[in-house]
Amino acid sequence: MPRRRPRRAMGDSSRRPVFSVRARIVVAIVLAAGIGLAVAGVATYFVQRQQALAQVDSDLIRNLDQVKAIAAQAQPAAQQSVDVLLRSLIQQVVPAPSESALGIVAGQAAYVPGGELPFRLDRDPGLVERFAREADSNFVVMGTAASDRGTLRYAIIPVTVKGDPTQGLYVAAYDLDTVLTAIASPFRTYAIVAACALALTGLVAWFVAGRLLRPVRHLREAADRLSATELGQRIPVRGGDDLSLLAAGFNRMSDRLEESFASQRQLLDDVGHELKTPLTIVRGHLELLDPTDPAEVRAVQQLAVDELDRMDELVAQITLLAESRGPGFVDPAPADLADLTRAVAAKAAALAPDRPWTTEQVAEGIGALDVRRITQAWLQLAENAVKYSTLGGAIRLGSERIQGRAGILFRAWVRDDGPGIPEADRARIFERFQRGDGTRGTSGSGLGLAIVTAIAHAHGGAVDLTSSPDGSTFTLTVLCGRAEDIAPAPHRHEPLTEETI
């Protein structure tokens, strides 16, 4: 039976995109630049076209001034005729390069300028007839006409002489196609240059977008390779832009994931190892148990209950450590630090009534912290001091409220006069399921100091250890409020010399 191919999950990123973000950016940039260049070119063309048409009309009107000036310089009107005056006008007026002129007498083409003309008006009878029909004996008439030559813009100037009833017309016309072609020619060059500019813009945008999106590509590749067994993926970070910050954020996330998975694996290994011992003990005694011996049954029963209690305590501590990584593990609230210190000292003394307990210093003032968790951590340090210090030796507790860089700090410590902790073990004992060597005993689950560290970190603080052959001091330092939020303590303390927080 053939196997069905698994359906691709929605949003599966393993499929290569048909149209990449890089291509979209380049297309958008080129399209925007192309629209901008096209709008600028078209707008400029139409502005220059309107200016050229206005200049044509201005040149045609100027012909009227020339006609008036030539007529004024001619012989007196009594000795003139329309025919003579019109011939004189045609001979003296010089047309522009795209202009032609025509003299019309009694509706018939009579005179054209000498020399080389761009086009001849007299060769189009239809135009001559139109000029004669549209002419006005009192006003200059302007219009536009289509001819074999192309589109013409013309001005019809009436020419009259007193005493001569003949109708004369001076016609000046511009070839608009030639004028507009002269404008369009530079814009063809502009279009070629704009196309080259767009191509260059697209090329530059392609490389720039590729460089800017390189962290995103590395992010996608690293995310594809990321798995529970391969958490070491990191992205090279160059620069300080948003995408580089995204890559840096991914690296930090990968660090946290790797640390979390490593912690989980370590926890599972340690839990399996720690639970294996009581289970092995209980199983071994049950296998060797003689059911007919009541005393042995009671002994094995007591042993099994003790081991189960130890397992229950171990599970509770593991659960507490797991909760310490989530929100809501601590619930800070304003508390009297002096009352907290005295309460912990009283509870600690009950751990070993036969030992001398001393309160060295009491913090004064108010601090925002989780009293229940701080008490738990402080008593754990006191219990360790009872368990691992010299039998009958004194144990000293103390606290102080000081001003730190980040705000108000609460420091609580426990001192003992035990043999001290070897330097090689001082960092290791704060890890889960780690105990000191034989000089300080090996009993317990090995989670006590790990729980203290978790509580300190949840309060934005830390746990420090100072140890020598004359004894050890465990110091719990937590942030209990900002300077502007917490009232000052009534007693002044010496400034903190070591940089704790």
Q: Which of 158, 181, 204 is the last residue of a domain?
A: 181
Q: Each residue of 230-260: pLDDT tens digit?
A: 666 676 777 676 767 777 777 787 777 777 7
Phi-psi region of 145 (alpha: psi -120 to 50; beta: other; left: phi over 0): beta
Domain that holds residue 288: 242-323
Lowest mean pLDDT across 61-70, 77-86, 329-338: 77-86
Helices within 154-241 (DSSP H only): 176-212, 214-225
> Do residues 446 and 477 both lie within one domain?
yes
> Do residues 280 and 383 both lie within one domain?
no
- 207 domain-assigned: no
- 292 domain-assigned: yes
**CATH number where 269 lies:** 1.10.287
| pLDDT above 70 as % of the chain | 81
* Global pTM value: 0.48
Q: What is the mean pLDDT of residues 439-465?
A: 75
Q: Each residue of 458-485: pLDDT tens digit?
A: 888 899 988 888 888 999 999 887 654 5
pLDDT of 435 reads 57
Q: What is the mean pLDDT of residues 64-83?
A: 70
> β-strands 151-161, 164-175: how paired?
antiparallel
Q: Each residue of 360-371: pLDDT tens digit?
A: 999 999 999 999
Q: Which of 164, 181, 198 is the last residue of a domain?
A: 181
> Do residues 351 and 317 both lie within one domain?
no
Confidence of residue 395 (pLDDT cuts 50, 70, 90): very high
Report the alpha-carbon distance of residue 449 to residue 293 in Å, rounded.
42
| 416 class by beta-carbon count within 10 Å (0-12 exposed, 13-18 middle, 19+ buried) | buried
Whether residue 33 contacts residue 201, with contact meaning beta carbons closer than 8 Å, is answered with yes
Confidence of residue 326 (pLDDT cuts 50, 70, 90): low
> Do residues 175 and 94 both lie within one domain?
yes
Question: CB atoms < 10 A from the CB of 322, how many?
Answer: 13
- 18 domain-assigned: no
Q: What is the mean pLDDT of residues 390-405?
A: 87
**CATH number where 365 lies:** 3.30.565.10
- 114 domain-assigned: yes
Confidence of residue 293 (pLDDT cuts 50, 70, 90): confident
Domain count, the chain: 3
* Phi and psi angles of residue 256, each rounded to the nearest 5 degrees, phi first: -65, -40
Question: CB atoms < 10 A from the CB of 17, how many?
Answer: 11
Residue with the bigger pLDDT between 492 and 171: it is 171
Report the alpha-carbon distance of residue 431 to residue 102 in Å, rounded.
110
pLDDT of 359 reads 93
> Do residues 346 and 474 both lie within one domain?
yes
> Do residues 286 and 339 both lie within one domain?
no
Give every CB contact of residue 69 below 8 A, 6+ residues apart in sequence: none
| pLDDT above 90 as % of the chain | 15
pLDDT of 278 reads 76
Of 460, 487, 495, 488, nearest in space to 476 by CA: 460
> Do residues 168 and 247 both lie within one domain?
no
Give SS3 for 77.
helix
| 417 class by beta-carbon count within 10 Å (0-12 exposed, 13-18 middle, 19+ buried) | middle
Using the predicted structure, report yes or no on whether residue 8 has a pLDDT greater than 50. Answer: no
Work out the mean pLDDT of the chain and round it to a whole number: 79
> Do residues 153 and 277 both lie within one domain?
no
pLDDT of 231 reads 66
Identity of residue 483: A
**CATH number where 170 lies:** 3.30.450
Lowest mean pLDDT across 119-133, 156-170, 209-223, 375-389: 209-223
> Do residues 347 and 460 both lie within one domain?
yes
Q: What is the mean pLDDT of residues 203-212?
A: 86
Q: What angle do CA 105, 108, 114 make, to 5 degrees?
A: 75
Whether residue 317 contacts residue 447, with contact meaning beta carbons closer than 8 Å, is answered with yes
Confidence of residue 299 (pLDDT cuts 50, 70, 90): confident
Q: What are 355's two structure tokens?
A: 């030992």
